[in-house]
Amino acid sequence: MKLLAIDTSTEACSAALTIDGETIERYRLAPRQHTHLILPMIDELLQESGLHIGAMDAVAFGRGPGAFTGLRIAAGVIQGIAFGADLPVVAISSLAALAQGGFRDTGATRMLAAIDARIEEVYWAAFAIDDSGHACLIGEELVCSPQQVPIPDGEGWYGVGTGWEAYLSHLQRRLAGALSTWEAQRYPRARDVAVLGVAAVGRGEAVSAENALPVYLRNEVAVKRS
């Protein structure tokens, strides 16, 4: 399978191209530069691979949660590509991509993904790595104060994401014996969106371009409380 993936949901900006299991990526930690970086990254990947966008089987993007502007950029770029090349789209959780990256680099199989949501809140989700090596959601994704994150069952959980830097003391007190260790300087990456995207295509989860939408969580919570 040939799949192009992007993620601009946080301070990091990345694009990746996976071709039958082999992946190349462009990645930069560059706050507020995503609009200038993402299209050149995609062009570089296509030139390096010798392929054109029409050769892709699908495209994928980190659909959030994350920074509102970054999510709109990713959705807009991927919708434009998908419309132009008539390609299906898979929208991948940025929290899942974060957990997938943690597993890729550490081998840890129980991940607590936390992205700093500002205003004293975190985007939060727990993931377990399945037998196929993919991050699978446990419970639900949510936005909440660090003092209110759900306490997972068992021990040995590995924390990943910027939420751990912003609210470490609160999260440590809240999770107590469940937490093994954490890594705050980790961001969602397109190479992990690609891994999860290929699996999602295989499960029949691809959608048309117009249905490839970002997920903000904070807006959804506001609606639920009204």
Digit-coded pLDDT (tens) for 98-110: 999 999 999 999 9
Check if 2-94+188-225 and 95-183 are the same fold: yes
Nearest alpha carbon to residue 212 among 96, 86, 123, 88? 88
CA 18, 57, 70, 172 torsion-angle sign? negative
Nearest alpha carbon to residue 149 among 119, 178, 127, 171? 171
pLDDT attached to residue 218: 81
Query: Cα 96 from chain centroid?
Result: 5
Tell me if 206 sits within 8 A of 59, measured CB to CB: no
Q: The tokens of 176 are what?
A: 């107590």
Name the CATH superfamily housing domain 95-183. Answer: ATPase, nucleotide binding domain (3.30.420.40)
pLDDT attached to residue 161: 98
Residue range 2-94+188-225, CATH number: 3.30.420.40
Q: How confident is the model at residue 219 (pLDDT cuts 50, 70, 90)?
A: low
Q: Is the pLDDT reported for residue 45 higher than 50?
A: yes
pTM of the model: 0.95
Domain boundaries, given as residue ranges, for the chain: 2-94+188-225, 95-183
DSSP per-residue codes, 52-109: -GGG-SEEEEEEESS-HHHHHHHHHHHHHHHHHHT--EEEEEHHHHHHHHHHHHH---
Taking the C-alpha atoms of residue 203 and residue 162, their distance in angstroms, rounded to an integer, is 30
Q: What percent of the chain has pLDDT over 90?
A: 95
Question: Mean pLDDT for the chain?
Answer: 95
pLDDT tens digit sequence for 143-185: 999 999 999 999 999 999 999 999 999 999 999 999 999 999 9
pLDDT attached to residue 35: 97
Taking the C-alpha atoms of residue 208 and residue 85, their distance in angstroms, rounded to an integer, is 12
